[in-house]
């Protein structure tokens, strides 16, 4: 990996280590500045050609890519399991997300609609049209090493853009495998130029180059708030656009009328799924005081029996954390919570036979009387802070009191509570669910959040607009030149 403050040199390599046991899975060459410049030059040229290909034809490329991913689903999922440590079901779910967004992009390729707008001037025609934007830089995190790139790439390609991908330095093989499938489809597609979609492997450096490069009108970045702040300020300084999907600190409210069975299943999936390493992971639970003791007892029982271990084993639900640093961050958060009066169960390291190089932890439950500093932060590990509430408004305030604003959830059978939660006075997050946990969003909705989550929206709905530029066009087919706002400007003659 590129050392901070120094450029990668030719021949430098990046090793991928499996979080399952710490063993090396392989290595890839790190992109040098020369590699970077070559990729961007090619992406600029590719854009010039690709933007003129009719959008439904661009959709056809995504259809073929989606078919290739379908064919290779099992193998791609296996790679995610090896490189990220996800259990099979979740790894397959992630590949399915790639397939789903490809299907979405195919449909979208015939629906990049503009508007016709009423002109105030006679015999004038005003419209709004969407054009391809340019080469797009995509920076992704380790935890969704395929899906998040696919959300961006599928839309960008259908919108007529070329794409340059800087994957996490922890998941170079997953990125190479998925991008390789797309490259093969590009090579077999007559209208698709070489260099349409490329990958730059490395540490922070290629990401910094992308952010600073005026040839790239849009940078989409997923990861920590710290990283997003750096990217956003660099991109803004050159008047580029950024599309950010940063930290979450997602809460669920369990109301008096909630179904305990549904709530418990949702809590456990959202809090311990992907070993607590989703940006949508449930981190804070507000339980009505009348339900708190019983719910906690049930949760503690389930947590105590969770199968933690090698994610390739059939009944394992919790795989490893990504690395030692993630385990240390979890321990530091638990120590801070304990010092602040939190009552902790779980959180200890779990030894997995034959995998001493892996960092496995029992998911932790931390009971709190009130929010504390560390519960307001996002620790990328399975820690669930449990708080009580008496008045519904108090729980909604709790949901909203953190600096992040990605996902939120309410379990209730009370219509007034549900409507309040979804109203302007309710959740301030980009995602608000009723009787569904915080994680596991479908690709059809726009995905992203407010506040320090960065404000970006990716994947479904009209998120495609971020990858295009809007042009307002007015055509005068009269034989006069009336000015807007009735302005008279008589030049005589
Ligand atoms: C992420 O963690 O960056 O909603 C994305 C979910 C997944 C995507 C998570 N569909 O949990």
Atom of ligand 1 nearest to the CA of 442: 10
Distance (Å) from CA 440 to ligand 1 centroid? 6
Beta-sheet pairing, 13-17 with 24-29 = antiparallel
C-alpha 188/C-alpha 347 separation (Å) is: 50
Atom of ligand 1 nearest to the CA of 279: 2
Q: Where are the domains of the chain?
A: 30-116+134-246+454-471, 250-446
Distance (Å) from CA 405 to ligand 1 centroid? 14
Distance (Å) from CA 447 to ligand 1 centroid? 8
Half-sphere exposure of 151 (CA within 13 A, CB side): 31
Note the pLDDT of residue 8. 74
**Beta partners for 20?**
none
Atom of ligand 1 nearest to the CA of 447: 4
Q: Decide whether any atom of ligand 1 lies within 6 Å of the 449 Cβ.
A: no
> What are the two backbone dihedrals, phi and then psi, of residue 120, each rounded to the nearest 5 degrees?
-85, -10
What global pTM score does this model have?
A: 0.97
Q: Decide whether any atom of ligand 1 lies within 6 Å of the 280 Cβ.
A: yes
Q: Decide whether any atom of ligand 1 lies within 6 Å of the 86 Cβ.
A: no
Write the DSSP string, 22-75. --EEEEEEPPPHHHHHHHHHHHHHHHHHHTTS-HHHHHHHHHHHHHHHHHTHHH
Among 440, 442, 454, name the best residue to mutate to test ligand 1's pocket (greatest count of ligand atoms within 8 A of Cβ): 440
* CA-based max dimension of the chain: 94
Q: Measured in whole angstroms, how far is the alpha carbon of residue 102 from the centre of its chain?
A: 16
Q: Decide whether any atom of ligand 1 lies within 6 Å of the 278 Cβ.
A: yes
Element (H, E) at 155: helix 147-158
Closest CA to 277 of 330, 235, 207: 330
Distance (Å) from CA 50 to ligand 1 centroid? 30
Our answer to whether residue 429 is catalytic in this structure is no
Beta-sheet pairing, 404-405 with 450-451 = antiparallel
Which residue numbers in the chain have pLDDT < 50?
1-5
Q: Decide whether any atom of ligand 1 lies within 6 Å of the 144 Cβ.
A: yes
DSSP label of 308: B
Note the pLDDT of residue 1. 36
Note the pLDDT of residue 2. 37
pLDDT for 275-317, tens place per residue?
Answer: 999 999 999 999 999 999 999 999 999 999 999 999 999 999 9
Among 138, 244, 441, name the best residue to mutate to test ligand 1's pocket (greatest count of ligand atoms within 8 A of Cβ): 441
C-alpha 445/C-alpha 442 separation (Å) is: 6
The Cβ of residue 368 has, within 10 Å, a number of other Cβ atoms equal to: 19
C-alpha 237/C-alpha 232 separation (Å) is: 8
| Chosen CATH of 30-116+134-246+454-471 out of 3.40.605.10, 3.30.70.330, 3.30.70.270, 3.30.160.110 | 3.40.605.10
Beta-sheet pairing, 383-389 with 282-288 = parallel
Note the pLDDT of residue 252. 98
Q: Decide whether any atom of ligand 1 lies within 6 Å of the 323 Cβ.
A: no
Among the listed residues 245, 378, 417, 452, the single catalytic one is 245
Distance (Å) from CA 441 to ligand 1 centroid? 7
- Which residue CA neighbors atom 7 of ligand 1 most closely? 440
Note the pLDDT of residue 10. 78
Element (H, E) at 411: strand 407-411
Q: Decide whether any atom of ligand 1 lies within 6 Å of the 459 Cβ.
A: no
| Chosen CATH of 250-446 out of 3.40.50.300, 3.90.1170.50, 3.10.150.10, 3.40.309.10 | 3.40.309.10
Note the pLDDT of residue 6. 53
Among the listed residues 60, 92, 183, 279, the single catalytic one is 279
Q: Decide whether any atom of ligand 1 lies within 6 Å of the 441 Cβ.
A: yes
Note the pLDDT of residue 21. 97
C-alpha 168/C-alpha 144 separation (Å) is: 10
User: What whole-number percentage of the chain has pLDDT above 70?
Assistant: 99
Our answer to whether residue 245 is catalytic in this structure is yes
Q: Decide whether any atom of ligand 1 lies within 6 Å of the 279 Cβ.
A: yes
Note the pLDDT of residue 7. 67
Distance (Å) from CA 380 to ligand 1 centroid? 13
Among 140, 147, 442, name the best residue to mutate to test ligand 1's pocket (greatest count of ligand atoms within 8 A of Cβ): 147
């Amino acid at each position: 990996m590129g050392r901070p403050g120094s450029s990668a040199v030719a021949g430098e390599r990046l090793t991928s280590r499996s979080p399952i046991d710490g063993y090396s899975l392989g290595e890839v060459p790190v992109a040098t500045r020369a590699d970077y410049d070559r990729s961007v030059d090619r992406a600029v040229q590719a854009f010039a050609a690709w933007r003129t290909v009719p959008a439904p034809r661009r959709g056809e490329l995504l259809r073929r890519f989606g078919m290739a991913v379908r064919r290779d689903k099992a193998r791609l999922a296996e790679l995610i399991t090896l490189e990220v440590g996800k259990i099979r079901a979740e790894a397959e779910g992630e590949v399915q997300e790639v397939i789903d967004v490809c299907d979405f992009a195919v449909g979208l390729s015939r629906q990049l609609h503009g508007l016709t707008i009423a002109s105030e001037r006679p015999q004038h025609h005003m419209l709004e049209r969407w054009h391809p934007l340019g080469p797009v830089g995509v920076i992704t995190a380790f935890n969704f090493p395929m899906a998040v790139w696919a959300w961006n790439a599928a839309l960008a390609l259908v919108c007529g853009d070329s794409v340059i991908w800087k994957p996490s330095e922890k998941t170079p093989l997953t990125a190479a495998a998925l991008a390789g499938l797309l490259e093969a489809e590009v090579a077999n597609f007559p209208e698709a130029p070489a260099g349409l979609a490329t990958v730059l492997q490395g540490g922070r450096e290629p990401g910094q180059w992308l952010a600073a490069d005026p040839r790239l009108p849009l940078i989409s970045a997923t990861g920590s708030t710290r990283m997003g702040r750096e990217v956003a300020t660099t991109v803004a300084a050159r008047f580029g656009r950024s599309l950010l999907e940063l930290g979450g600190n997602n809460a669920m409210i369990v109301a008096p009328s909630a179904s305990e069975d549904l709530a418990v299943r949702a809590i456990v999936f959202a809090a311990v799924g992907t070993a607590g390493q989703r940006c949508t992971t449930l981190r804070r639970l507000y339980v009505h005081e009348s339900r708190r003791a019983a719910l906690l007892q049930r949760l503690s029982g389930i947590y105590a029996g969770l199968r933690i271990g090698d994610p390739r084993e059939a009944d394992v639900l919790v795989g490893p954390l990504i690395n030692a640093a993630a385990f240390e961050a979890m321990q530091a958060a638990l120590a801070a919570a304990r010092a602040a009066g939190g009552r902790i169960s779980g959180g200890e390291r779990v030894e997995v036979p034959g995998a001493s190089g892996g960092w496995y932890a029992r998911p932790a439950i931390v009971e709190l009387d009130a929010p504390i500093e560390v519960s307001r932060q996002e620790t990328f590990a399975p820690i669930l802070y449990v708080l009580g509430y008496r008045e519904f408004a108090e729980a909604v305030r709790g949901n909203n009191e953190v600096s992040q604003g990605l996902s939120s959830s309410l379990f209730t059978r009370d219509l007034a509570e549900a409507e309040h939660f979804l109203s302007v006075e309710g959740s301030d997050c980009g995602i608000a669910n009723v009787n569904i946990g915080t994680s596991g969003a479908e690709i059809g909705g726009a995905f992203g959040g407010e506040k320090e989550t960065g404000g970006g929206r990716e994947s479904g709905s009209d998120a495609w607009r971020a990858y295009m530029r809007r042009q307002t066009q007015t055509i005068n087919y009269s034989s006069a030149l009336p000015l807007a706002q009735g302005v008279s400007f008589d030049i005589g003659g």
